[in-house]
Structure 1
Amino acid sequence: MLEGRSCLVSRALPSSCEQETKWAYMSYLVEVETNNGKRRLESDCEGEGGLKKLVKVSNKEERLSRAQFDRLSLSRSQVVGHSTNKHQTSDQSDMDCLINPIGRDMTINCLLRCSRANYGSIASLNRSFRSLVKSGEIYRLRRQNEVIEHWVYFSCRLLEWVAFDPVSRRWMQLPRMNSNECFMCSDKESLAVGTELLVFGKDLMSHVIYKYNILTNSWSSGMSMNFPRCLFGSASLGEIAILAGGCDSLGNILSSAELYDSEQQTWETLPPMIKPRKMCSGIFMDDKFYVIGGIGGSESKVLNCGEEFDLTTKTWTEIPNMSPAKFGVALENDMPAAAEAPPLLAVVNNELYAADYADMVLKKYNKETKEWAIVGGLPERAGSMNGWGLAFRACGDRVIVIGGPRVHGEGIIEVNSWVPSEGPPQWELLGTKQSGSFVYNCAVMGC
């Protein structure tokens, strides 16, 4: 910070998290100490070109009336410390000094601490703020400064997705996916990586991927893996994700794996796993990727082992008995192995947890003894059908369970949370929503 200057930024933003295109305004207050006293600048922008402002310019801090201000017709560039002529002749100056009195670096440092729910409003202030948000630069800077928010994205209706911020407890409705009926009715997997939400499914003739980007608040399609697949295990770590196993378009169980880089928009083929498997689960723990459980072998048997992939050596290591249950519910009930959902796993602070949906208990994995132990129960109303329809995810420093009572027709979905560092499982209800009570897909985005 420059000597003799200080800044105070406060925001008055919408009370609910809505689509980015519906975020209407952002208000902020900047107070600058100078040798001649204090000057306070207060603004209230609406949309792309909102000009309703209140400005304090004297030591007595006398306010101009709105009618007086309207007659002045100040431009947005004047509000952030630029004259109209200077803004027209030097876009670079606008880019370098987002809020001129405090400078670009301090402005960005303040914006990094804003919730990303407010970035749609921030982007509406002027072209500099818009570029900072829409280019993704603000998210790259957040990662560098270890400022990360984790939101949960899930779907309880076909082709419809919602996002939930567990800190502010606000909801956001995503635009509806624009796809054909074949994709809508196909089995789908989801994965959040970087600033993207990927949804994998089948089209008429092939596997397809739809991508939702928070920078544009829109869906797009056309991405393709090196080896298209479904029913795979996957997990993300920052801007990268690994997908392993699954089935090809002919139903063959795969051992192949690949890495997706969301920054470069590239797929890298990795060495194959030791065992082919489908309907498995993937996690990152201690900076290594694990694939656990699933179905494999010529007889499509349930696999109890896991495999660890070291990103440095590019090698796989088999880990016996890593699945949280040795015998699945489907096998006990003489049902096909595929009737049971893949293991429900979550990693918080490099500790692995599993939801045992048969006994409604929560388990923790001991990395030294390689054994599972019960640590508590699951939320009572989080029902499932052999594990299907229940979301169990890590979300920052907490475990999230999303589900609801099994009812006919419309129901209520509940978001429950537990922070392991605070002691034994005590589930807190973060939010409820009128919706179908069956969770089709769920992913957590940290950015």
Structure 2
Amino acid sequence: MGGFLSLAGTKPGISESQEVSQYETCKRQRMSFSISEEIPRLIPSLPDELSIQIIARLPRICYFNVRLVSQKWKKTVMSPELFKLRKELGTTEEWLYLLTKVEEDKLLWHALDPLSRKWQRLPRMPNIVYEEGSCKGSSALWMWNMLGPSAKIAEVIRGWLGQKNSFGQMPFCGCAIGAVDGCLYVIGGFSRASAMKCVWRFDPMQNAWSEVTAMSTGRAYSKTGILNNKLYVVGGVSRGRGGLSPLQSAEVFDPSTTTWSEIPSMPFSKAQVLPTAFLADMLKPIATGLTSYMGRLCVPQSLYSWPFFVDVGGEIYDPETNMWNEMPNGMGDGWPARQAGTKLSVVVDGELYAFDPSSSLDSGKIKVYDQKEDAWKVVIGKVPIYDFAGSESPYLLAGFHGKLHILTKDANHEIAVMRADLQDNSDSIPSSSTSVVAGSSDSLADSDSVVWKVIATRDFGSAELVSCQVIDI
């Protein structure tokens, strides 16, 4: 009986040991299949296509922690495909990137998420590569004025008088900043009095810096603007045989090919009609600003002779004709100037704004350019600015979320980001389609229709404002 049962439970030709071995093999196969199914997936039980859709809808501020989940999550949140999907879904976010200068002239970058009001510290820029050089003669004074008061004039001049190559020890400064195609660019600058061609790029997706194709010309204190997803760099100063000299040249960077191309140089037409040869030799034309407006590059200009700046209008570059034309008189002559002749401006929802500082250290005005009347008009009558003495850039302008913003140091010496709001809409961050102001400029200038709301502050110690950019990814 027992033998009968034993024979009935055993398949012909298969021993008990073979059956156990086969069972274990099948079990391992099932386990292996289950593991292979789980490991590749970002979220268990969900296809990766659906998981990526979920990740693309997360706020960008979450990505710093998301990348710690696993190597696959890290690879996903750093992939260009994810950020392309965010554009398709309309979930991109505008972040403010702020460049500050701390003691010993070190440059540090910080990013602000305006929605969460959280700051992030960017990785340090790579070590600056420079060539040895020095400044001689009166151009040394001109260089100091371009560097700004933070360069400590007394120390510089004493060193210049006592040591032939003292300007060769000048720290890195004068770089230009731009943002295009979701990346941040740091362009040129002075290092040991040599104007550099180098260009560095910060990719927020990779959270890393890299060096890209250099410019054709070494330049410092140049101006940048974006047109048709290309980065334009114009003017600045470089080092010639007789010392420092202003540049009329301009070039454009295409991020899709990482190549630079030259465009026609600025004519500086008004500098060519000075009444005497003496003035033509003494007054040097320089570009004092740049704004991309109405599909063209608007470059206000000045004539410079240390320590004076004389406004002389400006010129406009049209990429369709590849030509420079003289700027309308009202636009160029009325463009408000910051300190040292620099003209700071920003475009918000197609309107060109500029800050007009007052003689007071705690106020100023915002002007908007009226294209039809070729005139600058006061649109905000008072801006709470604390213009601390000795600061290289006491304030900056930025436009994001469809609103005008000003960056400055507040009464506690903390860096504050302030937003211009309508009186009845000051508690909400507007959508990108909301205008910064509404109604006539006169009514806004003469009333309290616009209020300033502090959306973020940060104590950066003794850091000074240098520049800022907005990136939408």
TM class by shorter chain equals 0.5 to 0.7
Verify the 8 A CA contact 1:209 1:224 in the aligned structure 2.
yes
* Gapped regions of structure 2 (runs ≥ 5): 1-30, 129-167, 270-284, 422-434, 439-448
| CA distance in structure 2 between the aligned counterparts of 1:255 and 1:381, rounded to whole angstroms | 33
Could you say which residue in structure 2 is the equivalent of 1:155? 99
Could you say which residue in structure 1 is the equivalent of 2:405? 400
Could you say which residue in structure 2 is the equivalent of 1:291? 299
Could you say which residue in structure 2 is the equivalent of 1:312? 320
Bigger RCO (CA 8 Å, 6+ sep): 2
Is 1:172 paired with 2:176? no
Larger Rg: 2
| CA distance in structure 2 between the aligned counterparts of 1:129 and 1:238, rounded to whole angstroms | 33
Could you say which residue in structure 1 is the equivalent of 2:459? 434
What is the CA distance between 1:301 and its match in structure 2?
A: 5.4
Could you say which residue in structure 1 is the equivalent of 2:450? 425
Verify the 8 A CA contact 2:251 2:262 in the aligned structure 1.
yes
Q: Give the alignment of 1:9-408 within 5 angstroms.
A: 83-86=34-37, 94=40, 99=43, 103-156=47-100, 157=102, 158-179=106-127, 184-200=171-187, 201-204=189-192, 205-207=194-196, 208-221=198-211, 223-236=213-226, 239-250=229-240, 251-275=244-268, 278-295=286-303, 302-321=310-329, 322-323=331-332, 325=334, 340-358=340-358, 360-383=364-387, 388-405=393-410
| CA distance in structure 2 between the aligned counterparts of 1:437 and 1:127, rounded to whole angstroms | 36
Q: In the alignment, residue 428 of structure 1 is paired with which amino acid? A: K
Q: In the alignment, residue 94 of structure 2 is paired with which amino acid? A: H
Of all paired residues, the percent bearing the same amino acid is: 23
Verify the 8 A CA contact 1:183 1:203 in the aligned structure 2.
yes
* Gapped regions of structure 1 (runs ≥ 5): 1-77, 89-93, 330-338
* Secondary structure of the structure 2 residue equivalent to 1:439: strand
What is the CA distance between 1:225 and its match in structure 2?
A: 0.9
| CA distance in structure 2 between the aligned counterparts of 1:125 and 1:416, rounded to whole angstroms | 35
User: How many residue pairs are counted as aligned between the two chains?
Assistant: 348
What is the CA distance between 1:249 and its match in structure 2?
A: 2.7
1:88-110, Cα deviation, whole Å (9 max, x unpaired) = 7xxxxx4xx75576645544444
1:339-387, Cα deviation, whole Å (9 max, x unpaired) = 6151110111110110012351110111111110001135324425698
| CA distance in structure 1 between the aligned counterparts of 2:49 and 2:333, rounded to whole angstroms | 48
CA 1:138–1:275 in structure 2 vs 1: closer, same or farther (change >3 Å)?
farther
- Normalising to structure 1: TM-score of the pair? 0.67
Q: In the alignment, residue 381 of structure 2 is paired with which amino acid? A: G
CA 1:340–1:280 in structure 2 vs 1: closer, same or farther (change >3 Å)?
same
CA 1:127–1:178 in structure 2 vs 1: closer, same or farther (change >3 Å)?
closer
Verify the 8 A CA contact 2:337 2:344 in the aligned structure 1.
no
Please, which moves more after superposition, 204-213 or 381-390? 381-390
| CA distance in structure 2 between the aligned counterparts of 1:314 and 1:241, rounded to whole angstroms | 15
1:175-225, Cα deviation, whole Å (9 max, x unpaired) = 233436968442232222233222232234441333332233233346411
Verify the 8 A CA contact 2:301 2:315 in the aligned structure 1.
no
- Normalising to structure 2: TM-score of the pair? 0.64
1:239-265, Cα deviation, whole Å (9 max, x unpaired) = 422111111233222222222223332
